[in-house]
Amino acid sequence: MRWKKRVIIPVISFLFIVIVCIWYVNDYYHTDENVQEYLQKKEPVSVTEMSDGLYLDGPGNNAAMIFYPGAKVEYTAYLPLLGDLAEQGIDCFLIKMPCNLAFFGQNKAEKIMDSYEYDHWYLSGHSLGGAMAAAYASEHLESFNGLVFLAAYPTKSLKSDSFSVLSLYGSEDGVLNMEKVEEGRAYMPVDYAEVCIEGGNHAQFGNYGEQKGDHAAKISWEEQQAQTVEAILNMMEAHKDQKQEEVMMTYEQISPQEAKKRMDKEADVIILDVRTQEEYDSGHIKNAVCLTNEDILSEPDILPDKDQQILVYCQSGNRSKQAAQKLADMGYENVLEFGGILDWPYPDLVE
Residue 117 C-alpha from the chain's centroid:
19
Catalytic residue among 21, 92, 99, 314: 314
Calculate helix-pair angle for 221-248, 79-87, nearest 10 degrees.
40
What pLDDT score was predicted for residue 206?
Answer: 97
pLDDT beyond 70 at 13: no
Q: Give 33-82 pLDDT, tens digit per residue.
A: 878 777 666 678 999 999 999 999 999 999 999 999 999 999 999 999 99
Distances (CA, A) of 337 to 161, 263, 301, 306, 310: 21, 13, 20, 16, 8
Q: Quickly state the pLDDT bin for 20 (edges 50, 70, 90).
A: very low
What are the extents of the domains in the chain? 1-30, 32-248, 252-349
What are all long-range contacts of 315-319, with beta carbons under 8 Å and residues at least 24 apart?
A: 315/275, 315/279, 315/340, 315/341, 315/342, 316/340, 316/342, 316/343, 317/343, 319/274, 319/275, 319/293
Q: What rounded mean pLDDT belongs to the chain?
A: 89
What pLDDT score was predicted for residue 250?
Answer: 79
Q: Which fold does the domain 252-349 belong to in CATH? A: Oxidized Rhodanese; domain 1 (3.40.250)
Q: Which fold does the domain 32-248 belong to in CATH? A: Rossmann fold (3.40.50)
Q: pTM score, two decimals?
A: 0.66
Q: Is 314 assigned a catalytic role?
A: yes
Q: Do 252-349 and 32-248 fall under one CATH topology? A: no
215-236 mean pLDDT: 96
Q: Count CB-CB contacts under 10 A for residue 247.
A: 8
Contact 68, 205 (CB under 8 A): no
